[in-house]
Copies of this chain bind each other. A is one copy, B any other.
Amino acid sequence: MITWNNLDTLASYKELFNLDKVNLKEAMSGENGAERVKNYSIPMAEGLSYNFAAKQVDDKILEALKKLAEEAQLTEKFEALYNGEVINTGEKRRVLHHLTRGQLGNAVEADGTDKRAFYTEQQRKIAEFAGKVHAGEITNGAGEKFTTVVQIGIGGSDLGPRAMYLALENWAKKNGLFKMEAKFISNVDPDDAAAVLASIDVAHSVFILVSKSGTTLETLTNESFVKDALVNAGLNPSKHMVAVTSETSPLAKSDDYLAAFFMDDYIGGRYSSTSAVGGAVLSLAFGPEVFAQFLDGAAAADKTAVNKDVWQNPAMLDALIGVYERNVLGYPSTAVLPYSQALSRFPAHLQQLDMESNGKSVNRFGEPVEYVTGPLIFGEPGTNGQHSFYQLLHQGTDIVPLQFIGFRKNQMDTDVVIQGSTSQQKLCANVAAQIMAFACGKEDENRNKNFEGGRPSSIIIGGQLTPGAMGALLAHFENKVMFQGFLWNLNSFDQEGVQLGKVLAKRVLAHETEGALKVFSDFLDI
């Protein structure tokens, strides 16, 4: 029997405040520190591991967090979710993105179909379509092969798929699996679409229009923009466009598209990279086999998230430590710092995933909560960030918990030896050094050169950023955010906070405003 309780009603949560805080500087020093790094490391899917040695936890706190996980029924709630219960209570929807990459529990039937079968059928259709495009069986009006794919979408239809594409682009090129270049149009700023269109060969481009509802204003506007460009180039838009949408949307059965692939209401935009939303563009760019490997990695990570034992469940442990940092230690933000240029836009995806899911003030019953919820998420790749905002992370007046990501091997083979080490070794040496610099600091009589230390971080370490590793990373964070939503007793799967702006913007465009909004509109010449 599952009960949904606010975090501050749980005995094990209150207990956390009674435990001694960890002095990270001490804990990470000397042999004790070395032991922590060995012991506080747990395996993840796809050869990744999650190391939390430099977090402000110890065995007692971890034991208490384990109790919290049990009391909050995290495993049971996840089970209910993947078995198809209506977990998205606000919108009265199931939450089924896990089914796009595997089946963790019972068959889930909805809308008269088995949903796992529905999602795999979309994958099959996409794979078939991509295969025909790559083979030159589906071509442009002149019978020529498509060379470029352009995704038109915003938010979850953009950030996740774009981050995944950038993560795997060089890997695919290196491994002879690169099929088509991908580009992305998202912003309603007309210069976004204009710049992308100017950078491609429109006659040899296929466009994927992504909108679940078929009514997203930015996306429909950019579709028109692209259609104008196609027509102006003497091309027939319906020979160049594909739709990814829900079966009930106005786009679903239109003759305006070469093909339509479906998602549904049970896949939130920010959880849609493993659905047709990511599937179409990634399968076209890298081939369906690479997309399948990516799904397998995500499925493997999902399996670890089912474990009741937190020591075998990295997403749950990561979630628990994050809530401890946010609610007990009081840190309001988290930086995501991948030491991999390929992950340059992964922080932007996680920013949406986390902040849109758990940036809420009411619980799943619509009652205000009395504790803080989702933190602010931001980040840039290392080592770039070291030469930028790390100054504040090291010596600023606030403490920002850090999430590092690093790989032993880079994606491409070329490297260079300078001063006795390769670039890849320098990259890895830097992330290791940063963890220790943040944790232990360094005393200096010149206070300006003094490092307090005590700044917590964790690191996910992998062998190489492959499609499987990318899938596992993505699913790890999705599941972490889900578990945190359970802990905070939120509905992590709606986003009512985006509505008011849309309503007011429509009013501005209809010139139905008064007061301050009218003056702002005038200043902006609308």
Q: How many monomers of this protein are in the complex?
A: 2
Mark the stretch among A104-112, A114-122, A416-424 that contacts chain B.
A416-424
Taking a contact as CB atoms under 8 Å apart, the answer to whether A509 and B425 are in contact is yes
Give the residues in chain B near A33, CB-CB below 8 Å.
Answer: 515-516
A142 at interface by CB-CB < 8 Å: no
In the assembled complex, 8 residue pairs joining A and B whose CB atoms fall closer than 8 Å, in A order, are: A155-B388, A170-B194, A221-B416, A222-B423, A359-B391, A359-B394, A386-B498, A425-B509
How long is the Cα–Cα vector from A435 to B410 in the complex, in angstroms? 43
Taking a contact as CB atoms under 8 Å apart, the answer to whether A441 and B500 are in contact is yes
Mark the stretch among A63-71, A182-190, A296-304, A314-322 that contacts chain B.
A182-190
A484 at interface by CB-CB < 8 Å: no
Taking a contact as CB atoms under 8 Å apart, the answer to whether A224 and B426 are in contact is no
Known pairs A190-B414, A362-B450; list 6 more (Cβ under 8 Å).
Answer: A187-B427, A225-B423, A333-B376, A361-B396, A394-B498, A439-B516
Taking a contact as CB atoms under 8 Å apart, the answer to whether B51 and A523 are in contact is yes
Contact with B along A216-242 (1 / 0, CB 8 A): 011011101100100000000000000
A372 at interface by CB-CB < 8 Å: yes
Task: Report A471-509 residues with CB < 8 Å from chain B CB.
Answer: 491, 494-509
Residue of B nearest to A368 (CB): B447
Task: Report A344-359 residues with CB < 8 Å from chain B CB.
Answer: 348, 351-352, 355-356, 358-359
Taking a contact as CB atoms under 8 Å apart, the answer to whether A397 and B426 are in contact is no
Give the residues in chain B near A74, CB-CB below 8 Å.
Answer: none
A269 at interface by CB-CB < 8 Å: yes
Contacts A388-B155, A423-B189, A520-B37; A394 near B432 (Cβ below 8 A): no
**Which range holds the interface residue count of chain A?**
35 or more
Residue of B nearest to A422 (CB): B190
Q: Which of B367, B383, B442, B491 contacts A187 (CB 8 A)?
A: B383
Taking a contact as CB atoms under 8 Å apart, the answer to whether A448 and B187 are in contact is no
A148 at interface by CB-CB < 8 Å: no
How long is the Cα–Cα vector from A68 to B521 in the complex, in angstroms? 33
State the Cβ distance, A39 to closest chain B Cβ, in Å: 10
Contacts A427-B189, A448-B494; A433 near B516 (Cβ below 8 A): no
Taking a contact as CB atoms under 8 Å apart, the answer to whether A433 and B517 are in contact is yes
Taking a contact as CB atoms under 8 Å apart, the answer to whether B390 and A501 are in contact is yes
Taking a contact as CB atoms under 8 Å apart, the answer to whether B426 and A188 are in contact is yes
A203 at interface by CB-CB < 8 Å: no
Task: Report A446-485 residues with CB < 8 Å from chain B CB.
Answer: 446-452, 459, 461
Taking a contact as CB atoms under 8 Å apart, the answer to whether A521 and B429 are in contact is yes
A130 at interface by CB-CB < 8 Å: no
Taking a contact as CB atoms under 8 Å apart, the answer to whether A391 and B356 are in contact is yes
Give the residues in chain B near A425, CB-CB below 8 Å.
Answer: 509, 526
Taking a contact as CB atoms under 8 Å apart, the answer to whether B426 and A524 are in contact is no
How long is the Cα–Cα vector from A31 to B434 in the complex, in angstroms? 53
Residue of B nearest to A424 (CB): B190
Closest 6 CB pairs of A and B: A359-B392, A155-B387, A33-B516, A433-B504, A359-B396, A352-B388
How long is the Cα–Cα vector from A348 to B218 in the complex, in angstroms? 24
Give the residues in chain B near A424, CB-CB below 8 Å.
Answer: 189-190
Give the residues in chain B near A393, CB-CB below 8 Å.
Answer: 359, 497
Contacts A188-B426, A394-B500, A447-B362; A521 near B432 (Cβ below 8 A): yes
Contacts A361-B452, A383-B188, A504-B436; A367 near B447 (Cβ below 8 A): yes
